Each structure stands twice: as structure tokens, then as C-alpha cells.
Amino acid sequence: MLSEAESIARDHFSSHLAPLIVLTEQTESLYRRAMGAMADHPRPGAAPKVGLILTSRLTNDLRVCSFSAQLGYGIRALLVGATIVEVVGALAYVGDSESRAAHWAEHSDLRHSYPRKVEEGIKALLSSLGISSPGAKENWYRAYTFMCTAKHGNPLILMLHGLRIDRSGCSYPSGPDCSAFGTPLSAEALYNAVFFGASGVYVAIGHCAEETLLAQLRAEALRITEDLHGLELWFTELFNAGQEESAQGVVSQVQTQAIVSQLNSETERLRRETDRRRRGSSPRLTQ
């Protein structure tokens, strides 16, 4: 039963990812408090209204990301994490600009979001946080790019996480994934959701006119970020443990290359066979 598998996954992740889950819950609580502060003490203008809309969206996205990760759906959690980056970027890009708030509200292009490029949102977010490190934008965009491999069904991540090879042959996992690959995926999703989520609160609460609340909630967002950075050694050890376990049965990069080579060989064989049959039938086709 799928529900039983999800229950087992929740138990697994509650113990293996406990530090991240605690910070995720704290970030969710911070969002609810920020929403209340912004609604009860709004600044005038259109920008705070857009800010409240985007913050409401982020509150729900963070919760969905957390649920997905803790139930063993790491790839799905990552795709929601990518959306969190996009919405936080839009929140920072609009900022307190009345003209950008108006453009956001009047946006009608279904093919593109606002701003059109995610890089613009990340740049605005870094500026709002007072971060000027040249490498920060590249690092943040790299994290977003990785999440987008899950979001867009990139073949590389599907080959690595959708195919398992061991002595008994090939298998195609479905449902919750608590494996050596699935656990780090859920961890990565939670880590990025907290990191970008806390940054989003820091920006969003600027729309609160009550200065004491603004300072308190921004201090809390910074504290969560610092605690997250404190998990970097733990995070590295989690991934290293996953790599060691994966070497014992889960498809490796070397195996992936072998599979791709085999698929290329089969494709070439089929192409040659198709050409042979086409040449053999061409006289009849030209009559």
C-alpha cells in the first residue's frame, strides 16, 4: 500500500533529516507570523499588497515542499523548491517599487513570469540582503539550476534516480524513495527551501510598518539562516554516506554511461536496419 510506504518514509526522514525538519518548521512558523504582521501593519501603496500576495504563495509552497520531502518524494520537493526561488526573486524584484508593483499586477504574458529572467530576481534578492560577493549569484543560481533538473524532468537526474541496477537486474522505483539517492534529494530540497525561504521573509517583512515587529522577524530570519549554515558539515556527511551506500547497488555514474552507450549502440543498429529496409523497398516505391 502506498500510504504504508509513505508512513515508513516519514519515520525514516524524521530521524535522518531531523535538524533540517526543525528548521523547516521554524521557517513555516516565521512565514505565518510575517503574514500576520504585514496584514495588521501594512505600509501604504501597491507594493506591499503585491508583497503580501507573493508571501502568501511562498507560505504554501514551503509547506508543500516540506510535506513532499518528508514523504519521500525528493524530486517533487525539489521542483517546488525551484518555484520558491522564482517567487522569492519576484518578491525582491518588486520590492518597494510602485511602478514594478503595477507592472507585476498588469502582467498578462502566459509564456513568461515577472521578472522575465530568474537571474534578475536572484540579483534583486542579493541586493536586498546587502550581499555583494561576486560568487554569490553564481552559487545561488547553481542551486536553482540543480532544482530545475528535477522540475523539467532532466534525463540525467531521471537516469540516476529513476533506475536502479543490482545483481538481480534493473528496477524502476515508484512511490516514496528512502534510498541512498532519495534521502539526499529530500535533504537538498529542505535545505534550499529554508535558505531561500528565510531570505524571502527578510525581504517581505520590509512591507510591515511596525518597526519593532520588522526588526524581530528579520532577526529570526537571520538566526534560521545561521543555524542552517551550521548544518553544512552534517549535510556533507549525509551526502558522503549516501554515496558509499549507493556504490553497493544503486546505479552509479559509470553505470549510467554504460547504459547510455548501450542505448546509442541500439539506436545505431536500428538506424542501419531502417536504412537497409528502405534501400530494399525503394524500387517498389518509385514505380
Question: Which span out of 130-144, 237-251, 254-268 was modeled with the highest average pLDDT?
Answer: 130-144
SS (H, E, C) the chain: CHHHHHHHHHHHHHHHCHHHHHHHHHHHHHHHHHHHHHHHCECCCCHHHHHHHHHHHHHHHHHHHHHHHHCCCHHHHHHHHHHHHHHHHHHHHHCCCHHHHHHHHHCCCCCCCCCCCHHHHHHHHHHHCCCCCHHHHHHHHHHHHHHHHHHCCCHHHHHHHCCEEECCEEECCCCCCCCCCHHHHHHHHHHHHHHHHHHHHHHHHHHECCHHHHHHHHHHHHHHHHHHHCCHHHHHHHHHHHHHHHCCCCCCHHHHHHHHHHHHHHHHHHHHHHHHHHHHHHHHHHC
Residues 171 and 286 in one domain: no
Structural domain total, the chain: 2
pLDDT in tens, 53-64: 999 999 999 999
Residues 143 and 32 in one domain: yes
What average pLDDT does the structure give for the chain?
Answer: 86
CB 27 within 8 A of CB 201: yes
In angstroms, the CA 8 to CA 19 distance is 19
Residues 61 and 183 in one domain: yes
User: Where is pLDDT greater, at 54 or 235?
Assistant: 54
Residues 223 and 206 in one domain: yes
- At 3 the pLDDT is 86
Residues 83 and 173 in one domain: yes
Residues 55 and 187 in one domain: yes
Q: Which residues span the domain enclosing 23?
A: 2-251
pLDDT in tens, 173-216: 788 998 888 899 999 999 999 999 999 999 999 999 999 999 99
Residues 25 and 150 in one domain: yes
Residues 138 and 74 in one domain: yes
